[in-house]
Chains A and B, each alone.
Chain A
Amino acid sequence: MTVPGESTEERWVDDHAGPVVRPYAVTGGRARPVTGTFDLISLVTATRSEVSPEVGLGPEHLAIVALCQRIQSVAEVAAHLDLPVGTIRVLLGDLMARDLVQVREPRTTAGLPDDSIFEAVINGLRAL
């Protein structure tokens, strides 16, 4: 998939890349991640700039690490890899279990401590 020596800064999974194989083949038939819950807007970032292929990691795992050099939500990872969110959750669980990605789960509104986030959104939108 990735050419050795090719810059990992370059996103080799473009928006038009179709699924490489069927979703359940990607996860080996697993429906649930080994760890993590992964909300659609959980933010994911890779902990390493590149990962060499190793046992248990498929091309999709490596593609996620390459993609998550920039912070991405779970929904964005799924959209860019053109795989269902459920499949992406399983793959992210594998990566999280190996400390290859770091994930920040969103806070629920009940957990939002103050109004500052709403005010920041209002100001941010006005500044767009």
Chain B
Amino acid sequence: MDYGPSERPAGAVPLPTAIKILVAGGFGVGKTTMVGAVSETRPLRTEEVLTETGVGIDDLSGVEGKTTTTVAMDFGRITISDDLVLYLFGTPGQDRFWFVWDELALGALGAVVLADTRRLADCFPSIDYFEGRGTPFVVAVNCFEGARRYRLDEVQAALNLDPGVPVLLCDARQRESSKEVLITLMEHALKIRESRRRAAGN
């Protein structure tokens, strides 16, 4: 069937399915580094402009006196196949932007919580958040040079994690290592789905 060169009928293009995985953790822990290590493009940055009263851009009326904040998110893309595109989003670090997290977490397949053993507490809010939401997550300990190595069970205990939550070491700069983290997350998410199905009696 022929179409004119400058027009395609709406609905004729089969669009792929887009899915996302979040990369969370404290400031400077390597979120954007991990996104960049596996993304097919260099990480891109997108911004949401927020006011105290809402999300999105400002309405011009009554704009005086409102404070606006820009929340930046770095993200990357992996084309899995012709009909599946995976996006990786680094979550904004500031805890007061939870509603941005809510938008990001909606529909996410899972989350990587990056941890730095020198500042382990920085990842507590992320873990609390994903536990509370029921989002499957793994904890990946980014091995910074000079950081004392802990055993994984020590990290697991220090984070008071459910024994089922995978904890693994990684080097966020390395593609293979970051891939392994994402694969572990997807396998964990599958397991959770399986056990939820069983619990639901299906």
Contact = CB atoms under 8 A, between A and B. Distances in A.
Contacts of A90: 57
Nearest to A126: B183
Contact of B189 (A47, A71, A102, A118): A118
Contact size class for A?
Answer: 35 or more
A120 B59 contact: no
B38 interface: yes
Nearest to B60: A29
**5 closest A-B pairs (Cβ-Cβ)?**
A124-B80, A86-B56, A86-B57, A79-B44, A104-B15
B21 to A, nearest CB: 8
Contacts of A117: 17, 19, 84, 109
B7 interface: yes
Nearest to B83: A120
B48 A85 contact: yes
A99 B107 contact: no
A124 B19 CA distance: 13
A20 interface: no
Interface stretch (B25-33, B85-93, B154-162): B85-93
Contacts of B55: 86
Nearest to B105: A109
A73 B122 CA distance: 30
Given A43-B18, A86-B56, A86-B57, A73 B179 contact: no
A71 B175 CA distance: 25
Interface in A78-94: 78-80, 84-87, 89-90
Given A49-B5, A85-B48, A121 B109 contact: yes
